[in-house]
Structure 1
């Protein structure tokens, strides 16, 4: 199996990142610094930046805030799934929900948690123990002990 030439790959990805074209020098430098942050986060957490990945990072850096990208990487780490496809999936889900800033992401998380808590509160258990607490709150401890003793005597006669 042929191993990719890491030095050549890194040189190509750096040239793609360093040659990001913008009209003014100020914008180019800001984009370049932002892109370097994306690249650094990716390399530290996911792996080597190949040319195709560098192009994708360029696109992502134009679409989302660096903090959103960092949070996506944190989620990959939490789920112990540190690969590009998982990272892309997280970012695609957020892109589909029109999330580009960290504030939008926080708002989205709060909405999602509220929906989740409403769902769990409205679910009614249909098993025979659904009213377990309510059934026994009407009896005192002594009454419950008597009920248990009668039940046990009936079973072991």
Structure 2
């Protein structure tokens, strides 16, 4: 931060938020913030894993979600949309075969021990909920 004194900027109080790809970007920023300049992250519906569903490190399935049978068609349509969107997002990385790079799909980072404080905002039936490793998040029940 070159001119932080001139603008009254305190680099120890940076809070970041972003939605979808922006949430993924800020998660990647958190992984690379070795100087601990970011204080807290608030990614919303972050695209933290864009690998093909058949290649993920976790086993995604509809039964992972608690659904009322009358709502299943709507929830399945919502979850299937995420799979389609992942396929489209991967097109943004032409020539990159390994989308498991943690800066592209942060869920594949191996070390979260120095990761800063993070509050992740996800919907109840969000596809990415199943991808979050236990050392990445702690669910909060409302």
Same fold (TM over 0.5): no
Higher relative contact order (CA 8 A, sep 6+): 2
The structure richer in helix per residue is: 1
The TM-score range, normalised by the shorter chain, is under 0.3
Report the structure number with the largest CA radius of gyration: 1
State the TM-score, normalized to the length of structure 2: 0.26
